[in-house]
Amino acid sequence: METALDALRNHRAASLPINMRAVFSSDPQRFERFSLTLDDMTLDMSRTAITEETVDLLLRLAETADLAGARDSMLAGEHINTTEDRAVLHTALRALSGGQAMEGGRDVMPDIRAVLEAMDAFAESVRGGTLRGATGQAFTDVVNIGIGGSDLGPVMATRALSPFHDGPRLHYVSNIDGAHIADTLAELDPETTLFIVASKTFTTIETMTNAATARDWVAAKLGPSATGDHFAAVSTALDKVAAFGIDPNRVFGFWDWVGGRYSLWSAIGLPIMIAIGPDNFRRFLAGAEAMDNHFRSAPMRQNLPVMLGLIGYWHRVVCDYPARAVIPYDQRLERLPAYLQQLDMESNGKGVRLGGGAVSTPTGPLVWGEPGTNGQHAFFQLLHQGTDIIPVEFILAAEGHEPDLQHHHDLLIANCLAQAEALMKGRTLEEARAQLIAKGMDAERAEALAPHRVFPGNRPSLTILHRQLDPYALGRLIALYEHRVFVEARLFGINAFDQWGVELGKELATELLPVVEGKADPSSRDSATAGMVRRIAALRD
């Protein structure tokens, strides 16, 4: 029997090549037909090589995979993270318009509201200067120490929302490389610096090592008793936080049903709140809630995360494209690609199905990107003329935050639209040749040069447009991507919410530390590890 995936593959084989240039010429309604809106947000899918039949077949696949049922199970707090036996309820963290969110037969909303209110009070006391350090000074700088989901979201959002930043300066330390904390502390005064140690587990070696270094730095300058005044923490492991010496009144909890890469909506978002204030943080949550409501209730064909996920699946599994590039035409979204790398690749970079068997299709793509227009002057050459097809996702705001620099923003928009058009249209050999001759080149030289100036075109891109990058729009955008990852995981048949693939390296690093320190013999390791350890030791002599 032909499966939904077989039908998609047969459809692609039978209908290729869909020439996007041709379909745009023959169908003036293509943009209307293949773009979706949610308030001021537009998702333009028209520049992908799909037809109504493709969409119908993708929707059939979604139905076969019971995507709607899986979504409802997630939103109902069922333990869909089966390998860790956990619910997946980050949506509850932003469900502030009313109603319940049940986990284990209990409404979790009162706990969520209580932590949010405690965060409000703490953030306001830091922002207003009423919370003071050991020597009585207000905090001018806040350093968040965390890594992965306890870092990437807050870093990305703080940068994205810099026009709304009216609190103390924010710094982020994540890397175990001592350069990171050393360079950060070099600019700071311990008397006016507050540290937030952010770790779901409170065991992550990078975070614990950096936190201990920060504690020593404070103690060296202000005495050991100052720790209490200069540290706060965000964690699910309250006992471990207490053991570190952080005052329980400055500890903000969250729950095991919040995955690390889905945690910026929880107390992990405390540094964002300190930067932009509680009201703006709530707008950020409200934007995500609007996307949740849309994901829950919009018909599949009009549902932005569903359609974004289905097109992602089409590109990855049916077209076999190995990667996708996310190119925000927004300098303040410069850390969005890194954030999405964890969200997408830690969720969907897996080869085992929910039931334990091996997957039979490709799963999550490589996700990468840089802001435009910078990327245009770096890797766009490959996107246009390279031998791999890499679908691009452009993100664009109609308005910037610099009314005096409107010309910059118009140029930014023109460049973004131009890249999408160039990828789609390309340039034929005849056009290349004719252009050169029109410029006065002789026929022989034009013939030789023209092939280098050909753009294959028909290269897919999606564009996400919103009015302006503000807290609400950012929350909505991130929630769109979260649900898209969920949709793709469901179609791949994998669990998006565990991350066993990060464990082995951590275990080996623990084993190797004594070897690197010279306390254990390297001979027991493979020859590459042993050889490198010996060379490192020789270089240190």
Ligand X SMILES: O=P(O)(O)OC[C@H]1O[C@](O)(CO)[C@@H](O)[C@@H]1O
Q: Which of 77, 133, 148, 371 binds ligand X (CB under 6 A)?
A: 148
Q: Checking DSSP bridges between strand 41-44 and strand 392-399, what pairing results, if any?
A: unpaired
**The two three-digit tokens of residue 236, written as one number:** 């699910």
Q: How far is the CB of 268 from ligand X (least distance, A)?
A: 8
Q: How far is the CB of 343 from ligand X (least distance, A)?
A: 10
Instruction: Give DSSP secondary structure letters for 401-444.
Output: S-GGGHHHHHHHHHHHHHHHHHHHH-B-HHHHHHHHHHTT--HH
At residue 506, what is the residue type? K
Catalytic residue, candidates 191, 206, 289, 346: 346
- The window from 81-89, 91-99, 118-126, 148-156 that contacts ligand X (CB under 6 A) reads 148-156
Give the helix ranges, DSSP H, for 39-98: 52-64, 67-75
- Residue closer to ligand X (CB basis): 55 or 258: 258
Catalytic residue status for 377:
yes
- State which H helix or E strand residue 511 sits in: helix 503-516
Give the helix ranges, DSSP H, for 99-246: 109-127, 152-160, 178-186, 205-222, 227-230, 238-244
Residue span 327-366 as binding mask against ligand X, x where in contact by CB under 6 A, dash where not: -------------------x--------------------
- Residue closer to ligand X (CB basis): 43 or 198: 198
Q: How far is the CB of 140 from ligand X (least distance, A)?
A: 26
Kindly identify the residues of this chain, within the stretch 244-283, that bind ligand X according to CB under 6 A: 260-261
Catalytic residue status for 506:
yes
- The window from 115-123, 153-161, 193-201, 348-356 that contacts ligand X (CB under 6 A) reads 193-201
Could you give the 3-state DSSP secondary structure of residue 484?
Answer: helix
Tokens 């390279």 correspond to 386
- The window from 105-113, 135-143, 146-154, 509-517 that contacts ligand X (CB under 6 A) reads 146-154
Q: Are 364 and 316 in contact (CB under 8 A)?
A: yes
Q: How far is the CB of 241 from ligand X (least distance, A)?
A: 12
Number of residues counted as binding ligand X (CB under 6 A): 14
Residue span 487-516 as binding mask against ligand X, x where in contact by CB under 6 A, dash where not: ------------x--x--------------
Rounded Cα distance, 439 and 446, in Å: 10
* Beta bridge partners of residue 394, listed in sequence order: 327, 463
**Nearest 5°: CA angle at 112, between 109 and 115?**
150
- Residue closer to ligand X (CB basis): 146 or 277: 146
Q: How far is the CB of 253 from ligand X (least distance, A)?
A: 13
The number of helix segments (H) and strand segments (E) in the chain equals 23, 13
Can residue 207 be called a binding residue for ligand X (CB under 6 A)?
yes
**The two three-digit tokens of residue 86, written as one number:** 């956990």
Catalytic residue, candidates 52, 187, 408, 506: 506
Can residue 150 be called a binding residue for ligand X (CB under 6 A)?
yes
Can residue 201 be called a binding residue for ligand X (CB under 6 A)?
yes
b/e 109-142 (16+ beta carbons within 10 angstroms → b)? bebbeebbebbbebbbebbeeebbbbeeebbebb
Count other C-beta atoms under 10 Å from residue 280's C-beta. Answer: 20
- The window from 57-65, 143-151, 153-161, 240-248 that contacts ligand X (CB under 6 A) reads 143-151
Rounded Cα distance, 195 and 143, in Å: 5
Where do contacts with ligand X occur on this chain (CB under 6 A)? 147-150, 199-201, 204, 207, 260-261, 346, 499, 502
- The set of catalytic residues is 346, 377, 506
